[in-house]
Amino acid sequence: MKELNINGYKETIIERSDYPFETCKEILKNETTAILGYGPQGCGQGLNMRDQGFDVILGLRKGISWEKALKDGWVEGENLFSIKEATARGTIIQFLLSDAGQIQSWPMVKENLHKGDALYFSHGFGVIFNDDTGIVPPDGIDVILVAPKGSGLTVRTHFQAGRGINASFAVHQDFTGKARERCIATAFAIGSGHLFETTFAKEVHSDLTGERCVLMGLLQGAFLAQYEVLREHGHSPSEAYNETIEEALQSLYPLVSEKGMDWMYANCSTTAQRGALDWAPKFKDTLKPVIEECYQKVISGAEAKRAIESNSKSDYRYTLEKELAAVNNQEMWVAGKQLRQLRPENL
């Protein structure tokens, strides 16, 4: 374990070496993990557990996800079942359906839980916003969370590359007295690299804020704003795209990932350094109130309510595809499709 002290805030990071493979196998030796849902997280976590020899089964509806699971080598009646049967067979129930899918399936899942089971989430949404979701776990079970800090695809590809992706974990309810060990062992079984502890509430509040801000929403908005300014002042699509996105993703952001923002600054020209240092505070002062507004809407439940109402509409999929198509057809991303093909690795 690694003890961190960041400006007086102390926390413990749990590393793989603290829970080696043999220890995780021993902790989970009498457990059957039932993964409900085969979206990105269900797929990534399930395949990683299966590849390492843990006792894992899937619970799915017949349809697209079922067919995908069959193609991935899951076998009906052996490790592929209906959601109801998988829930009844499992002792650790990984509830990895979409938020809307969890709401719909919860009454049936709850009915098939057994005393002493562990109900596992990778997002605190359903439990924390239970006034809207109706998801209130019964008393006689453990309730745990492992939230990988990346997409399910990244969970899988990092595992295949021999790496792990960091994740948060939380124990919401410890009925058996072993919820923490079940949680941590499962976290490493799905391919996590290191773990930091949180709560269900903190996980969902930080996650929803991050998605709406620097991880996705703010990123798209900032990219588009700069691209449009450059194009409106006569710059070509290639120049606007390269100065906005290509250089960021291919050159500068990897430097930030490697050693931090100061390292990236130090490896740019003195002119770039001066401009970045002067303008960063302006952007921070402009954006912080917007992010604070977003955070307040998250913790109030307004964002959860909007998501549930939107995702529950009968035409949700059609509307979503229209919105995504509008992003896809923005000139910035049309240029990107063509320019990415010119990267050296694609030639």
The answer to whether 123 is a known catalytic residue is yes
**Catalytic-role residue among 123, 158, 172, 205:** 123
For the chain, what is the radius of gyration of the CA atoms? 22
d(CA 89, CA 91): 7
User: What order do you get walking across the sheet with 142-148 strand by strand?
Assistant: 2-6, 9-15, 192-197, 165-173, 142-148, 118-121, 92-95, 33-36, 56-59, 80-81
For helices 270-300 and 302-311, the axis angle rounded to 10 degrees is 80
Closest by CA to 202, choosing from 275, 144, 123, is 123
For residues 20-39, one letter each, b for 16 or more C-beta atoms within 10 angstroms of the residue's C-beta and e for the rest, the string is eeeebeebbeebbbbbbbbe
Question: Which residue pairs from 335-341 have beta carbons closer than 8 angstroms and sit at least 24 positions apart in sequence?
Answer: 335/237, 335/238, 335/240, 335/241, 336/241, 336/245, 336/246, 339/238, 339/241, 339/242, 339/246, 340/246
Grouping H, G, I as helix, E, B as strand and the rest as coil, residue 167 is strand
**Which amino acids are annotated catalytic?**
123
